[in-house]
Amino acid sequence: MQNTAILLINCPDRKGLVATVSGMLYERGANIIHADQHQDHEAGLFFMRVEWALDGFDVNVFRRQFAPVAAELRMEWRLELSSTVTRMAIFVSQYLHCYADLLYRHKAGELDCEIPLIISNHPGARALAEFHGIPFHQIEIGADGKTGAERRQIELLEGHGIDLIVLARYMQILSSDFVSRFPNRIINVHHSFLPAFVGAKPYHRAFERGVKLIGSTSHYVTEVLDDGPIIEQDVTRISHRDQLEDLIEKGRDLERVVLSRAVRWRLAHRILSYGSKTVVFD
């Protein structure tokens, strides 16, 4: 695979942004592979993602020269290199379908990342971690409460240089303190079509309400429960013939797909979030 750089920009909209960025890249001989931009006219914001090949391109020089331009244009920006592999931790509890799916996809080469760490409050996930040769840490909430458990989790995450945390049906609510340490770095899957059925037991509530479609949502975690920017959603049709357990079973397939898409897009640096929304460049 080719070495590439990816520039992600989020800034107030104004004339000439595309011309400025593409001009700078062209002058330095960049061979652009993908480029996409988006304007939120209502919010007056501009978003851009450009990816180019690095052969013969000095990315450090570009970074230095781009910084003052970006500052002048009030850009939030980051420059990612495809050669820097994301380090991802998975958190899981007793339901293993999303977890097993992520591990399988990783092994099959679908997820371009390293997984140095699996953390669970249950023992059930250990066997698969061992099969895949990934260190498994069982951290239960002990005498020192959730604070103590989170302290040990944070030590592990920081010790392993983790860039991305994926909650693969992890059934503990993370504290605000934990969440605020990892902004836009925690992806969760919720087993409903958010904002319908925020909170616990969404399938039960969907069943009681008599909906004709069930859904699943992957989103960044923020300090407000189930309220972070939505990355992906999908639904499946159900009918009166589906009992509660059918909803749960059909929902598992949705959860897998919706979570793995979000992870894949995050690893390809295709998501920009702002307010309660995301731009997902495809």
133 binds its own copies per the rule CB under 8 A: no
Strand-pairing partners, residue 274, are 277
Per-residue binding letters, 241-280, with its own copies (x by CB under 8 A)? x-xx----x---x---x-----------------xxxxxx
Minimum Å gap between C-beta 195 and its own copies is: 5
Contact by Cβ (8 Å): 46, 13: yes
What region does 56 belong to: left with phi over 0, alpha with psi -120 to 50, or beta?
A: left
* Rounded Cα–Cα distance for residues 72 and 219 (Å): 32
Q: Does 234 bind its own copies (CB under 8 A)?
A: yes
Told to judge if 13 belongs to the known catalytic residues of this protein, a careful annotator would answer: no
Please name which of 75, 79, 45, 74 lies closest in space to residue 275, comparing C-alpha atoms.
45
Within 10 A of 233 (CB to CB), how many other CB atoms are there? Answer: 18
- Closest distance between its own copies and the C-beta of residue 116, in Å? 21
Beta bridge pairs of residue 117: 89
Q: Which stretch binds its own copies (CB under 8 A): 64-72, 161-169, 173-181, 208-216?
A: 208-216
Q: In 3D, which of 130, 181, 133 has the Cα closest to residue 158?
A: 181
Contact with its own copies (CB under 8 A) among 194, 221, 259, 268: 194
Can residue 211 be called a binding residue for its own copies (CB under 8 A)? yes
Please, what is the end-to-end C-alpha distance for the chain in angstroms? 19
Candidates 36, 58, 144, 226; catalytic one? 226
Residues marked active site are found at 226
Sites of contact with its own copies (CB under 8 A) = 15-16, 18-20, 22-23, 25-27, 29-42, 47, 96-97, 100-101, 104, 108, 110, 131, 193-197, 208-213, 215, 229-235, 237, 239-241, 243-244, 249, 253, 257, 275-280, 282
